[in-house]
Structure 1
Amino acid sequence: MDTQHVTSTETDQPTIRPLKGYQTSCDAKNEKGKPCWGFLKIWYGAPDELTRTIPRDHVIYRCQKCGQLYHGPPHRHVSRSWRKMEMIAPER
């Protein structure tokens, strides 16, 4: 009986893509070539092996739909409404 050796070309670690600017949704394409557009959330439970591969001040984001991983700086307020509130603050 012949045995076939299956070699995997993919590594065990998933690819971590960098974020683009104020990106808040996944742009990974599925098998049909359409973008996922799932929401990106910070992944607090990321394994230490993954957190060691990204810069120290970055965090790992994970798509809620497809699970694609991204890395980038932590997002602050995407809408600048918090600055408007500071400007409108009443004087004492």
Structure 2
Amino acid sequence: GIGHLLHEEPQIPAWGEPKTGMKLTEGMVLCVEAQVIAGNSDVYTAADGWSVKTRDGSKAVMFEYMVVVGKKQPIFLTPTTAWPLTV
């Protein structure tokens, strides 16, 4: 979630069991961080305490989307269509 602190509830991991987490309600503002890894998904936190690296040295990228939970669909606050992506 987004609020007074860098990371707030709800924490939404990329794994878990359906219908077991916190229920999202209309008006919540969330920052969704998506990690895409070209190789093995095994990662670790580097010595700087912040950077996350892949154990096999494969390329990885993190995308971040800020969204509002809407009544029927999300409202994207991040203008992702303007991102220059190179594959």
Give the TM-score, by structure 1 length.
Answer: 0.20
The higher radius of gyration belongs to: 1
Higher helix share: 1
Higher strand share: 2
